[in-house]
Amino acid sequence: MCRQEITVGSKIKDLKKQVEYYANLSYTTTVVQQDDGHGIYYLARVIELPGLMMTGDTPAEAFADLESVKREWIETNLRLGNKMPEPVHSPQYSGKVVLRMPPSLHETLVTVAELEGVSLNQYMVYTLSKSAGRDEVLVKERKAPYRK
C-alpha cells in the first residue's frame, strides 16, 4: 500500500509540473468585441487551446477570467490524455526568407525602392507589412476572399 501511495503521489507531482509548464507558455490570446443582439461583451480565447475561452463586460475582465480558468482547463485536458499543443509563435523564426520571383518584378521592386530612397529589403518589409495589416482587417471584417 505504501508503494501505491508513492506512485499516485508521483503522478500528481508530475501532473502539477506539466500544468505549470503549459500554463506558463506564451500562447496567443485574443480578446474580441462581440454583439449577440442583447448587448456588447468581450470574448477572450487562447488560439492554440481550442475550447479555452471566457467572456466579460470589458476586455480586461474577459482576459482575467480566461487566465483564472487556464490552469484548470489544462489540468483537465492532461487528465483526459489530450495532447497539449505548444504556442504557435516560437523562436524558430529567424526573420530571413529566401524568395524567388520573376526578374521583371525584382527590377520593379529595386526601382521603386531607389525612388523611395530605401534599400530593397526595407521596401519589401514595408510593402509586406502594409499588405498583411490590410489583410488582417479584411479577415476581421469577414471580407477577405480567402477566409479560414
pLDDT 10s digits, 90-132: 556 678 888 899 999 999 999 999 999 999 999 999 898 888 8
The model's pLDDT over 72-92, given as tens digits with 9 standing for 90+, comes to 999 999 999 999 998 887 556
Q: Is the pTM of this model over 0.75?
A: no
CB atoms within 10 A of CB 52: 19
Q: Where are the domains of the chain?
A: 2-79, 94-148
Residue 33: helix, strand or coil by DSSP? strand
Q: Does domain 2-79 have CATH number 2.60.40?
A: no
Q: Is-contact 25 86, C-beta < 8 A?
A: yes
pLDDT score, position 140 = 63
pLDDT score, position 139 = 61
Which residue has 516560437 as its cell numbers? 90
User: What one-character-per-residue DSSP string does 86-119 give?
Assistant: PPS--TT--S-------HHHHHHHHHHHHHHTS-
In sequence order, which residues have a C-beta less than 8 Å from that of residue 45 and are 6 or more positions away? 29, 30, 52, 53, 54, 66
Query: Which one-letter DSSP state was computed for residue 44?
Result: E
The total number of residues shown for the chain amounts to 148
Element (H, E) at 138: helix 120-140
CB atoms within 10 A of CB 5: 9
